[in-house]
C-alpha cells in the first residue's frame, strides 16, 4: 500500500473530555485505503519546531466522505498547537502507516484503556456486526469513550469504582474469556497490555496487541521504535504497530 | 559521460565517486533508502548513504532512543543493524536495482575490524565507504577513534589497506579541535571527509527526575546544530585539500548552500528526512533555481565562496 503525504484540511475539532479532543481531517487518499490499527503522522506547523511528525492511531476513516478522525490528548508542544487550529486550517498528514489489525475474528473481544481506545474505535466499526468492548479507566471521567462506542456491547471498569466494575480490566477479563470469544484485540498502556496478554495466554486464544513507542520517522528508517521479536528485530512503525502477542518478546 | 540529470549543473566528484547531484543522505536517517521509495525517486539522489553497518548484527541500546529537543532531536539508537552479511546478501541486491551510488557507513571495535569490514565490502554495488569514527552511542570503538588523531589515522590506514573503494571519514564534533583530526585522516589516506556527526547531549525528565534516554546521553541532530556544522566545515575547508561532505540540520536548499559556500563539495540530508521524506530529492530543484537566479552555471562554482580569500 502506497504511503502518501497530503495537506489535509481540518473539518472539525471537538472536545471529548478535559485535554482530549477529536479532529476530523479531509484526507481522501488516506481515508480510501486506511485499515484499522494503522496510524498517520502529523506535522502541525511549517516551522522547525516541533520538528518531528507526531504519530496518531486512526480513530476512524470514511471512504465516502474522504475523512479521517484522530482522537488525541493535549500533552506536548505539537498537540498544544493542534488543539488551537480551527476548521479550514491545514496540517501535513503522512500515511497510512504500519500494519493494522487482522480482522479474522468471528466473535471478537476488544480490550482497551486510555488513548488506546482510539484505534479500537475504528476497529470496532470495521466488523460486520457489533462487537464486545472491555474498557478500563481510572475514574468515570476517563470513560467518555462510552458515547463513541454506542451500538457495541460495552463492559466497563474503573480503578475507583465510580463506573462499572470496581478494578482494572483484569477484574472482568477472566469471566469474559470464558464466554466463547475467538479473538482478542488489545490496545492501551503497556502494563495493561502485558497483564491482559498474560491472562489471555492461559486460554490459547489468538491475541493481537497494538504497541506504542517513541517514533522518529514512522517509516522504519530511524530504529527509534524497534523491539525484540523471536530471533529478529521488529519495528513498531512498519512491522507493527499491531502484532500477534507472541511475536514480540521484549516490549 | 554527460550528465542529463539537472542538466549536469549539479554534478560533483568526491574523489572517484561521481555524484549527479551533490545530495546524499546522512547515515542512520534514511535506513537503506528502500523505506523512502513511496516519497522520492532514489535515482534523483547523488548517492545513498546507508545505515551504519557492523561485522555482526547489533540490537542497539535499550530504553527510549529518541527524544525531541528545541529544533532538534537526541538519539541513542546505538548502531542497531542486521550486520554486514545480511546487508550484502539481502539489502544490497535490492539497492542495485537503482542507478544510484551507494556509500556504506561502517563501524568497528578495532582497526582490524574496520579492515575486515572494508574487505567484505569490496563488492560491486558498493561505491564508497564512510568510516564512522564518531558514533557517540556505543561503548567501544566509534567515538573513541574519532577524538584522537593517531587512533583516527590508524583506522583510516586499516581500511585503506583492504579497500578498493572511495574512503570517506566521518568526523565527530565532540573534540577540542576538529581540524587536527581532519588533517590526521588526510595524511592517513582518506579520500574525503564528512562532517559533522551528532553533538553529544542529554535531556532530563523533571517529573521523573531522571534522564529521558535509555543510554542517558545521545547525539543531537537537526536544525539546532546547523550553525555548528557550518562553522566546522568552514574551518576544515581551510586546513585540508580533501573534498568535504557537509551535514547537520539541513531542512532546505538555503541550509545546504551555506555548506557549499563554506567549502563543502556535497551535503547530506539527515534529520530532515524524518520531517519530509521527499526532502533529499526536492532540494536539488531548489539548488538549481538558486543557480539560475544568480546566473551561475555549476554548483562547483560556488564552492568555498564564503571562505577568506
CA distances from residue B240 to B150, B179, B187, B233, B234 in whole angstroms, order as listed: 17, 8, 10, 11, 11
Domain total of chain B: 1
Q: Same structural domain for residues A123 and A166?
A: yes
In contact, A73 and A115? CB cutoff 8 Å: yes
Alpha-carbon span B281 to B292, nearest angstrom: 18
CB distance B47 to B102 below 8 Å: yes
Q: Would you state the cell numbers that stand for residue B72, as one nine-digit string?
A: 532538534
The kind and range of the H/E element at A186 are strand A183-187
Cβ-defined contact of B35 to A221 (cutoff 8 Å): yes
Task: Specify whether B76 is catalytic.
Answer: no
Residues A9 and A91 in one domain: yes
Q: Could you tell me if A123 and A72 lie in one domain?
A: no
In a domain, A218, yes or no: no
To the nearest whole Å, the CA of B31 is away from the closest chain A CA by: 4
Kindly report the pTM of this predicted structure: 0.95
> Among B287, B295, B300, B296, which residue's Cα sits nearest to residue B6?
B287
How does pLDDT run across A192-237, given as a tens digit for each residue? 999 999 999 999 999 999 999 999 999 999 999 999 999 999 999 9
DSSP string, A41-78: EEE--SSSSS-S-EEEE--EEETTTTEEEEEEE--SHH
Return the residue of A nearest to B223 by Cα.
Answer: A48
Residue B224 lies in a domain: yes
Residues A11 and A93 in one domain: yes
Q: Omega before A241 cis (within 30°)?
A: yes
Domain hosting residue A33, numbered range: 4-97
The residues facing B169 across adjacent strands are: B131, B193
Residue where a domain stops, chosen among A77, A97, A117:
A97
- Whether residues A113 and A205 share a domain: the answer is yes
Q: Which residues of B touch A216 (CB under 8 A)?
A: 66, 73, 75, 274
**From the candidates A223, A232, A233, A248, which should be mutated to test the interface with B, based on the most B CB atoms within 10 A?**
A223
pLDDT score of B191? 98
**What values do phi and psi take at B164, rounded to 5?**
-105, 5
Per-residue confidence in pLDDT tens, chain B, 309 aa: 557 899 999 999 999 999 999 999 999 999 999 999 999 999 999 999 999 999 999 999 999 999 999 999 999 999 999 999 999 999 999 999 999 999 999 999 999 999 999 999 999 999 999 999 976 666 665 677 888 999 999 999 999 999 999 999 999 999 999 999 999 999 999 999 999 999 999 999 999 999 999 999 999 999 999 999 999 999 999 999 999 999 999 999 999 999 999 999 999 999 999 999 999 999 999 999 999 999 999 999 999 999 998
Residue B308 lies in a domain: no
d(CA B280, CA B273): 7
Indicate if A63 and A128 belong to the same structural domain: no
Q: Are residues A40 and A79 in the same domain?
A: yes
- Range A227-251 average pLDDT: 94
Let me know whether A89 and A138 are in one domain: no
- CATH number of the domain to which A26 belongs: 2.40.30.10
How far is it, in rounded angstroms, from Cα B171 to Cα B186? Answer: 12
What pLDDT digit, counting tens, does each position of B13-40 carry? Answer: 999 999 999 999 999 999 999 999 999 9
Same domain for A114 and A193, yes or no, is yes
Rounded to an integer, the average pLDDT of A100-116 is 96
Q: Identify the CATH number of the domain in which residue B110 sits.
A: 3.20.20.70
Nearest CB among A2, A221, A224 relative to B65 is that of A224
* 3-class SS of residue B50: strand
Q: Can you give the pLDDT at residue B134?
A: 76
Number of domains in chain A: 2
Neighbours of B59 (CB within 10 A): 17
Element (H, E) at B266: strand B266-269
Beta strands A39-43 and A54-57 are: antiparallel
Around Cβ A50, how many Cβ atoms within 10 Å?
Answer: 21
**Does any domain span residue B151?**
yes
Nearest CA in chain A to B58: A233
Domain residues for the domain of B17 are: 5-302
Give CA–CA dist B243/A90, Å, rounded.
42
> What is the nearest CA distance from B71 to chain A, expressed in angstroms?
5
List the beta strands (DSSP E) in B123-241: 128-132, 166-170, 192-195, 199-202, 204-205, 210-211, 217-221
Amino acid at each position: 500500500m502506497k504511503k502518501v503525504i497530503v495537506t489535509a484540511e481540518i473539518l472539525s475539532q471537538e472536545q471529548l473530555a478535559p485535554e482530549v479532543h477529536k479532529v476530523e481531517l479531509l484526507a481522501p487518499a488516506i481515508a480510501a485505503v486506511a485499515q484499522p490499527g494503522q496510524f498517520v503522522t502529523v506535522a502541525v506547523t511549517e516551522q522547525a519546531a516541533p520538528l518531528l511528525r507526531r504519530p496518531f492511531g486512526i480513530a476512524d476513516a470514511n471512504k465516502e466522505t474522504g475523512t479521517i478522525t484522530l482522537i488525541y490528548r493535549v500533552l506536548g508542544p505539537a498537540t498544544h498547537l493542534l488543539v488551537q487550529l480551527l476548521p479550514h486550517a491545514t496540517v501535513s498528514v503522512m500515511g497510512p502507516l504500519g500494519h493494522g489489525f487482522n480482522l479474522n475474528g468471528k466473535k471478537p473481544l476488544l480490550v482497551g484503556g486510555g488513548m488506546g481506545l482510539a484505534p479500537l474505535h475504528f476497529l470496532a466499526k470495521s466488523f460486520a456486526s457489533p462487537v464486545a468492548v472491555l474498557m478500563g479507566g481510572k475514574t468515570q471521567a476517563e470513560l467518555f469513550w462510552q458515547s463513541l462506542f454506542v451500538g457495541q456491547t460495552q463492559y466497563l471498569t474503573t480503578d475507583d469504582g465510580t463506573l462499572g466494575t470496581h478494578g482494572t480490566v483484569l477484574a472482568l477479563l477472566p469471566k469474559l474469556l470464558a464466554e466463547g470469544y475467538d479473538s482478542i484485540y488489545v490496545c492501551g498502556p503497556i502494563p495493561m497490555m502485558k497483564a491482559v496478554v498474560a491472562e489471555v495466554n492461559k486460554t490459547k486464544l489468538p491475541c493481537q496487541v497494538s504497541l506504542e513507542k517513541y517514533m522518529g520517522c514512522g517509516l522504519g528508517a530511524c530504529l527509534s521504535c524497534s523491539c525484540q521479536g523471536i530471533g529478529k528485530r521488529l519495528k513498531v512503525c512498519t512491522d507493527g504497530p499491531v502484532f500477534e502477542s507472541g511475536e514480540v518478546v521484549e516490549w | 559521460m554527460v550528465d542529463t540529470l539537472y542538466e549536469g549543473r549539479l554534478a560533483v566528484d568526491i574523489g572517484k565517486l561521481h555524484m549527479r547531484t551533490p545530495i546524499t543522505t546522512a547515515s542512520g536517517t534514511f535506513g537503506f533508502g528502500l523505506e523512502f521509495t513511496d516519497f522520492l525517486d532514489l535515482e534523483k539522489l547523488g548517492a545513498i548513504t546507508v545505515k551504519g553497518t557492523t561485522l555482526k548484527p547489533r540490537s542497539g541500546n535499550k530504553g527510549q532512543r529518541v527524544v525531541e529537543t528545541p529544533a532538534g532531536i537526541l538519539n541513542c539508537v546505538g548502531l542497531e543493524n542486521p550486520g554486514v552479511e545480511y546487508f550484502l546478501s539481502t539489502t544490497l541486491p535490492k539497492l542495485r536495482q537503482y542507478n544510484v551510488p551507494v556509500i556504506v557507513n561502517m563501524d568497528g571495535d578495532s582497526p582490524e575490524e574496520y579492515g575486515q569490514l572494508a574487505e567484505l565490502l569490496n563488492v560491486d554495488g558498493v561505491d564508497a565507504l564512510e568510516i564512522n569514527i564518531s558514533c557517540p552511542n556505543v561503548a567501544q570503538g566509534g567515538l573513541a577513534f574519532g577524538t584522537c588523531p593517531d587512533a583516527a589515522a590508524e583506522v583510516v590506514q586499516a581500511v585503506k589497506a583492504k579497500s578498493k573503494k572511495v574512503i570517506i571519514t566521518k568526523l565527530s564534533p565532540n573534540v577540542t579541535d576538529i581540524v587536527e583530526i581532519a588533517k590526521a585522516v588526510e595524511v592517513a589516506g582518506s579520500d574525503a571527509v564528512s562532517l559533522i556527526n551528532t553533538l553529544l547531549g542529554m535531556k532530563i525528565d523533571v517529573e521523573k527526575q531522571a534522564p529521558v534516554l535509555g543510554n542517558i546521553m545521545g547525539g543531537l541532530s537537526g536544525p539546532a546544530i546547523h550553525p555548528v556544522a557550518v562553522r566546522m566545515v568552514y574551518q576544515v575547508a581551510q586546513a585540508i585539500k580533501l573534498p568535504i561532505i557537509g551535514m547537520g540540520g539541513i531542512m532546505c536548499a538555503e541550509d545546504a548552500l551555506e555548506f557549499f559556500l563554506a567549502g563543502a563539495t556535497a551535503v547530506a540530508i539527515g534529520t530532515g528526512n524524518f520531517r519530509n521524506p521527499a526532502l533529499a530529492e526536492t532540494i536539488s530543484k531548489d539548488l538549481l533555481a538558486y543557480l539560475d537566479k544568480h546566473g551561475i552555471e555549476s554548483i562547483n562554482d560556488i564552492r568555498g565562496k564564503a571562505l577568506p580569500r
